[in-house]
């Protein structure tokens, strides 16, 4: 019996190891804040700023800058995608409905929002695990409002820490450059 379990475990390990490693944002599907599928393939040919958000954080006012950035570049093929998370100090509401209501009523958020998710560590959603594996652990979220810039081809371009605001010259220049290139 133990031999069969060992063989089954080995086969499963080989199968998982043989699974292709994602190379692009477009290979992932999240759920919207309303619980509907959010295939990231819908952003092929667009530049995306992926941001882990929190409603009760000292950096929550960055929502205003994220919406402004989204509005400024949307017509050129850019979007912000927010991923609410309670990973840092449990500074997010408990339900997606509460997060949505807060974002819309306090900040007029119109950019796409995913459902609340884990964005760090071994329980992180696959998209954030991919980002960590691709850019390295030093580029992973250390707090709320960490930003990943993703090119038109779905590949990660850059990471910006919490203190780098969405309207900073650094982020604005990186978005403009990504929009101007073919990636």
**Torsion 147-107-39-172 (CA) sign:** negative
**80 phi and psi angles, rounded to 5 deg:** -95, 140
- Of 107, 133, 183, 7, the closest CA to residue 82 belongs to 107
Residue 103 catalytic?
no
- Residues facing 177 on adjacent strands: none
DSSP state of 154: S
Q: How many residues are given for the chain?
A: 183
Closest CA to 83 of 53, 104, 47, 61: 53
On the CB side of 149, how many CA atoms lie within 13 Å of its CA?
23
Residue tagged active-site, from 27, 28, 57, 179: 57
Q: Tokens representing 3?
A: 């031999």
**Residues annotated catalytic, as ranges:** 57
């Amino acid at each position: 019996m133990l031999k069969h379990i060992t063989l089954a475990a080995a086969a499963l390990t080989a199968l998982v190891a043989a699974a292709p490693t994602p190379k692009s944002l477009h290979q992932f599907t999240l759920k919207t804040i309303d619980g509907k599928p959010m295939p990231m393939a819908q952003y092929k040919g667009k530049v995306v700023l992926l941001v882990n958000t929190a409603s009760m954080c000292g950096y929550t006012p960055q929502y205003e800058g994220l919406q402004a950035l989204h509005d400024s570049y949307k017509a050129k093929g850019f979007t912000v995608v927010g991923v609410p998370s309670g990973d840092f100090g449990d500074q997010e509401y408990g339900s997606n409905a509460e997060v949505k209501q807060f974002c819309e009523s306090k900040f007029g958020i119109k950019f796409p929002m995913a459902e609340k998710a884990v964005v760090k560590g071994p329980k992180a959603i696959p998209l954030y695990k991919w980002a960590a594996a691709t850019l390295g652990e030093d580029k992973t979220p250390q707090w709320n409002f960490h930003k990943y810039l993703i090119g038109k081809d779905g590949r990660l371009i850059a990471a910006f820490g919490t203190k780098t605001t969405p309207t900073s010259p650094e982020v604005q220049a990186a978005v403009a450059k990504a929009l101007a290139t073919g990636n």
